[in-house]
């Protein structure tokens, strides 16, 4: 008797089971993109952040500090110029959309002046130095090759003073520094110092700018 009812249940649900087997299987989820990071210093991080967050393929840019200890990674302390920190940006990017070499092109060409030692314009102190904090040998080789090429072409009227050092750590700056240029476009500093960088970016690298900008 039990076997009879089991057979009847199978027959009863057979059409449903057949229909389920004919349904298309769900497409496998697309793999998450492989993202990499770059850490660069070149004067006030407000303008550096504003430039790089406009690039296609850049997923995130954080203003912060690199080169010193965690204990001293606070704006007021870093501003003394005695911490070893440089105002920096941490750039998270998709290397399938933008290369590290291209990021460095923007860095040297529009984001800052690599010939100014321990200052950018009126901003003076070692915290405003030009420095590349490379993450891995590939970034180191790319950075050194880029500098050699720029020097060979005499791209600047003065020697490049950009330091190339191994990355140790990055510490985000206080919340009010994040996306400062976009949140305060009428700030006289932004209008005078950083808007010209964005104008240069639009002029020299129009194909690299994300459509959202």
Active-site residue flag, 44: yes
List phi, psi (to 5°) of 183. Answer: -85, -20
> How many whole angstroms from its chain centre is CA 1?
71
- Across the beta sheet with 36-42, the strand order is 163-166, 130-134, 36-42, 86-93, 58-66, 170-172
Buried b (16+ CB within 10 A) or exposed e, 136-150: eeebbebbeebbeeb
Q: Give the whole-angstrom CA distance, residue 61 versus residue 199.
A: 19
Q: Which of 41, 44, 73, 198 is catalytic?
A: 44
Report the 3 state secondary structure along 123-191: EECHHHCEEEEECCHHHHHHHHHHHHHHHHCCCCCCCCCCEEEECCCEEECCHHHCCHHHHCCCCHHHH
Among 50, 59, 66, 51, CA closest to 171: 66
User: Are the C-beta atoms of 14 and 7 separated by less than 8 Å?
Assistant: no
DSSP 119: E
> How many whole angstroms from its chain centre is CA 67?
17
Positions marked active-site: 44
């Amino acid at each position: 008797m039990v076997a009879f009812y089991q057979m009847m249940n199978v027959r009863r649900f057979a059409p449903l089971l057949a229909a389920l087997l004919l349904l298309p299987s769900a497409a496998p989820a697309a793999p998450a993109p492989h993202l990499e990071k770059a850490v660069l210093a070149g004067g006030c991080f407000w303008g550096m952040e504003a430039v790089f967050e406009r690039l296609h393929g850049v997923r995130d840019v954080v203003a912060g500090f690199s080169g010193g200890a965690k204990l001293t990674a606070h704006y007021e302390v870093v501003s003394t110029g005695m911490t070893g920190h440089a105002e920096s940006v941490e750039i998270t990017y998709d290397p399938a959309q933008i290369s590290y070499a291209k990021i460095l092109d923007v860095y040297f060409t529009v984001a800052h002046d690599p010939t100014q030692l321990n200052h950018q314009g009126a901003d003076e102190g070692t915290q405003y130095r030009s420095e590349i904090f490379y993450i891995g040998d590939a970034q180191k080789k790319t950075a050194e090759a880029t500098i050699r090429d720029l020097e060979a072409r005499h791209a600047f009227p003065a020697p490049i003073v950009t330091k190339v050092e191994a990355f140790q750590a990055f510490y985000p700056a206080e919340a009010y520094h994040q996306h400062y240029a976009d949140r305060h476009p009428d700030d006289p500093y932004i209008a005078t110092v950083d808007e010209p960088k964005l104008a240069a970016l639009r002029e020299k690298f129009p194909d690299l700018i994300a459509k959202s900008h």
